[in-house]
Chain A
């Protein structure tokens, strides 16, 4: 079986002389927060590609660490976000709608967007046929609609487990934006085999609490500094053309008492700036699609012409 040498999901686009992105209200930065509300199963079915847990099952230290987010961390995180009028765009394992309906109710009360992060974070897209992936997408769409009345617009693959054609399937199934691509600081058209448009919205791993706090072992106060520095630069660049700043969060990490003040200070810092659009993923994608998608598509063509054509 042949493998792809690149994802084939996007065209090249240098970060200079791009068409100017204008955000609502003339904002420089579209700022959004993406809480990952997840359910990891204690005894998931095995995946042919990836070991789910790190220790022999039951891996209770790792299972319970994540369960903390739903029992404790979520409400703390939501309280801080509400204090600053920041809505969440939830990267949702949709089974949470079934397991913890009270969490979904609170998200709806706060007018947060729900998008899909698969069914469980312990069920990967790896090794799935296209029809199987479509089944997952449809399950997510139906479950979110049933639990919240919302249309499913956004997608982050569960545990970021992609198939080769996942982005094509998302477009075909009517998903509006994807977060699986980490190639840019601005929204971009996604190249798919479908006629439907798919937008990639920046979802910033550099500011994601899991890689920062868990993988890189960066201290909370240095995490705060990363967020501020990241924002400062994007705010400056946003004077020329609108940028996007995302803070992806996990309530099991940021909702810990020794980290909660970081979120508070980060949101205080961002929201004290005038030219910030407090947006959701759906709003950013829709704005880009309506105002800039065609512009960018046309502008990018010369950079991607076949050599010799």
Chain B
């Protein structure tokens, strides 16, 4: 399909058309604010039932990524119960509704392919059917960023405020309160077909490119990431002094990993619910002290800075080695949500410095 344009004010109508076509629609919404001076405005991707009150295109990016709609934060894998002397195992019914996630930011859309690399057979060698079936039924409509904030750093990891990686249908604001519409995949074409009554032709690719450039210029957090992998590959750097120096303030909460759109670790536990057992998969975090605790009592990552070293290495080395996918998409959530301002881009900066000036343990006097 050719590119088209759309009036920005018609987004609500778009959502209504999708709802009428029996899609489950997920879009950003502003959560009503609690009556407290301490409360902050929270925008979240939420399942909606009408096109009113959406927050598509507003703010920087939703608090949650698309992760929780594909890799659900807790889900039963199967159930089991005693039947006489035997244990009976039963499947647990899961729904995989046809879903459109509307107004996803480009960094979040790119994170889906990273997660898919972990959960699909092609890259990881083992398939997680819960994830892949959900992804199969999900269409992602991306919305280019117009106002990245101080914590955004997508351009440092090879993305951009208007990149279309992982997108099925891509929207970009262009002058005149309009949107350039670009279908990217067959799934995106299907959604575009539904929204067609609201389109105008032809599209304006030049205006769209210009808009992308303007957004890119607003990004202030810029780091060099191309030397990081090589530096991490060097075994002796595993015990470099920077890990402890930068990481000692980490208090070991899992906020960065749970908010991260590419973090994918999970734990499995058996739960008793009314005489029936359920095996449940739920989100876990490498920042927890018992994450690598062995049954013997030994813990290979016995202090917090080692756990953060793992997180950084996962993003810039392990992801590339094991899954051939991008580990960090630069959304900046781990920076915004860290209670002690532990900043992944400070690690990027220092590693880059060390990699480019091998023997000089230079420290930036401005860095805390």
Chain A partners chain B: no
B→A interface (CB under 8 Å): none
A→B interface (CB under 8 Å): none
